[in-house]
Amino acid sequence: MDRWMGRLSSMEYPDYSAEIQAIRNDGITPELLNRIIRRHQGCREHMQQLYGRYRTEADKVPIFTREPRFKDDGEHQAENAINNRVNNDFFSEINDIKVGFCAGKPANYTYGDDYQAEEETGGEEAVEAASKALSDFVKRNNMFDIDMEATKFAAVCGYAGRLFYIDPKGNERVMIMPPYETIILSETEMTEPEFGVRYYQYLDLNDQQTWKVEFYDSGTVQFYEGQLDALSFINSKPHLFDFCPLQGIPNNRELIGDAEKQLALIDDHDGNYSDNSNDIEGFANAYMVFKNCRINEDTMARANATGVIGVDVDDPESPYDVYYLTKNIQGDFVNSHLDRAQDNIYRFSKTPNLNDPEFAASSGIALRIKMTGLETKAGTFDAKRVSAATYMFELLASSFAKKGIPFDPLQCNVKFNHNFPVDFLGEAQAVQALIAAGLPKKIAFGALSMIDDVEQVLRLIETEKDDIPDLEDEGEEVKKLPQNEQQKGVLLKEEIADG
């Protein structure tokens, strides 16, 4: 595999406007389906290269396929040449840090519980039913894992596929699709698909590679099998949603992976690091030069065994010498180049260098500034994820409606939590300063990153104040106390009422 030379037009995601219009007019056909898949091949191969690089596959990382720089002819074979191929896996680190930051904490999926939610849903009981349906969906599908896998594929390849389906028990399920097996046809965003194609290879019972293709529209899924450009229709069935259940989650509008722009820098770092490793290994064997001396294999064997060497001079009248051959390596220059390459990889990928001593010593506002780049690209991805979640809620609403469950997708909320190190001491001191300055506690507590619901915190403070139970729960709490404690509670209540 050659070094990265930049993004080519063949790697771009195709514009399927003509195909979309053709499907609207005449429906899908095997010929049109083959055309859609064929136009996706360049993008597919590029994403497979990126994902293979993330997996450090031998034929996907350029340094692993490098040939020796120097090859001798004659008795010396090329395989004997020193050719270290060292992969410094910045590519995976850039993507893994993004995944941990964006999806390292579970997202909060909630259904509204205010008066507006009750009006739109159909009352308090309807809100409870809708909230339970959403909660069951999140738990059943382990959305923590789904969101993490979606973030990984989007960060590595540029987008991720997400397929919704109904399982044999009649429950709504979701799974992540590799982007190189997923084609989204939409005239707006791939988060709002009009049609979708899933295609992949499998090994049949005759050990033959065969393609399976699934085409999704707003009502059905059609199945095809065979070889590309020779697909045969198998059957179709309803997918039980009112919209296309195969959607895409883009990393950004350009569908570019997080480490893609830094591939040339990473390849340069790997090449130079491997060259330095070659130098170290090549001269670690103590190359010895015999000047005007006769030497044979027996002499070398005795030298290896005893550590002492005796040689015969060819010409006593000429100077002779035995010495080690060394290479003057400019270590400072080499280290400076590698350090600069490493700094640029982190800088241009907007990834914090967690091994940097300055980063480890940072806190508060300084840490926030160092995380600005990561926060920026994470915010871009979060915006795309919110769009994808909005479509997901509409899709779920169409399925819940068939079960008689009232569900308004616009009352659903999702909050993605960034896995950011929290400076609790600094935030606590800031809140104290805000309260001392005269700001309301509601505003001051809102500055704490650990608090999502300020109103609930204020209610808990009132509940715990002076160890007096909340009035709503007072009756039940008193019943749990012994008889003498109940009497004390009644007297305390009377004192509060009189005072």
pLDDT along the chain (499 residues), means of 10: 84 96 96 96 96 95 84 53 88 96 93 91 93 96 97 98 97 98 96 97 89 97 93 95 98 96 94 85 68 80 75 78 74 86 93 79 73 93 97 97 95 91 79 89 81 79 70 49 50 48
pLDDT score at 320: 80
Report how far residue 8's alpha carbon sits from residue 144's, in angstroms, rounded to the nearest whole number.
35
If asked whether residues 154 and 279 sit together in one domain, one would say no
Enumerate the β-bridge partners of residue 313.
Answer: 293
CB 311 within 8 A of CB 293: yes
Q: Which domain holds residue 143?
A: 9-260+373-417
If asked whether residues 181 and 212 sit together in one domain, one would say yes
Is 235 inside a domain boundary?
Answer: yes
- The first and second tokens of residue 246, run together, are 């195969």
- Among 393, 413, 405, smallest CA distance to 114 is for 413
If asked whether residues 333 and 401 sit together in one domain, one would say no
Cβ partners under 8 Å of residue 321, min gap 6: 289, 291, 292
Is 397 inside a domain boundary?
Answer: yes
Report how far residue 271's alpha carbon sits from residue 267's, in angstroms, rounded to the nearest whole number.
6
CA-to-CA dists, residue 453 to 78, 108, 231, angstroms:
67, 12, 54
Is 190 inside a domain boundary?
Answer: yes
Enumerate the β-bridge partners of residue 455.
Answer: none
Report how far residue 177's alpha carbon sits from residue 163's, in angstroms, rounded to the nearest whole number.
7
- The first and second tokens of residue 96, run together, are 């893994």
Count of domains for the chain: 3
CB 197 within 8 A of CB 37: yes
- The first and second tokens of residue 245, run together, are 């259940």
Is 247 inside a domain boundary?
Answer: yes
If asked whether residues 299 and 158 sit together in one domain, one would say no
CA-to-CA dists, residue 57 to 48, 50, 54, 62, 260, angstroms:
11, 10, 8, 10, 17
Q: Which pairing describes strands 195-203 and 209-216: parallel, antiparallel, or unpaired? A: antiparallel
Residue whose tokens read 């509409």: 394
Is 437 inside a domain boundary?
Answer: yes
Q: Around 158, how many Cα atoms within 13 Å sit in the side-chain half-sphere?
A: 23
Question: Of the candidates 364, 388, 406, which is a domain's last residue?
Answer: 364
Q: Around 13, how many Cα atoms within 13 Å sit in the side-chain half-sphere?
A: 25
pLDDT score at 499: 46
Q: Which pairing describes strands 108-111 and 412-415: parallel, antiparallel, or unpaired? A: antiparallel
If asked whether residues 121 and 20 sit together in one domain, one would say yes
Cα angle 94, 99, 102; round to 5:
120
If asked whether residues 97 and 233 sit together in one domain, one would say yes
Enumerate the β-bridge partners of residue 322.
Answer: 290
pLDDT score at 469: 57
Report how far residue 292's alpha carbon sits from residue 26's, in angstroms, rounded to the nearest whole number.
88
Side chain identity at 315, as an amino acid letter? D
Is 496 inside a domain boundary?
Answer: no
Report how far residue 10's alpha carbon sits from residue 44's, in angstroms, rounded to the nearest whole number.
10
If asked whether residues 241 and 275 sit together in one domain, one would say no
- The first and second tokens of residue 331, run together, are 């270590």
What ranges make up the beta strands (E) of 145-279?
Answer: 159-166, 172-177, 182-185, 195-203, 209-216, 220-227, 230-238, 246-250
Report how far residue 135's alpha carbon sits from residue 321's, in angstroms, rounded to the nearest whole number.
83
Report how far residue 452's alpha carbon sits from residue 384's, in angstroms, rounded to the nearest whole number.
22
CB 42 within 8 A of CB 10: yes
If asked whether residues 155 and 176 sit together in one domain, one would say yes
Longest alpha-carbon distance in the chain = 123
Cβ partners under 8 Å of residue 355, min gap 6: none
**How many CB atoms sit inside 10 A of residue 320's CB?**
15
- Among 407, 421, 415, smallest CA distance to 389 is for 415
Residue whose tokens read 């926030």: 368
pLDDT score at 455: 79
For 353, the 3-state DSSP assignment is coil
Is 406 inside a domain boundary?
Answer: yes
If asked whether residues 251 and 276 sit together in one domain, one would say no
If asked whether residues 42 and 140 sit together in one domain, one would say yes
pLDDT score at 193: 98
CA-to-CA dists, residue 308 to 41, 284, 297, angstroms:
65, 19, 14
> What is the DSSP secondary-structure string of 356-415?
-HHHHT--HHHHHHHTHHHHHHHHHHHHHHHHHHHHHHHHHHHHHHHTT----GGGEEEE
pLDDT score at 162: 98
pLDDT score at 284: 59
Provide the CA 367 distance to its chain's centre, in angstroms.
22
For 320, the 3-state DSSP assignment is coil
If asked whether residues 146 and 285 sit together in one domain, one would say no
Is 4 inside a domain boundary?
Answer: no
pLDDT score at 206: 85
If asked whether residues 403 and 288 sit together in one domain, one would say no
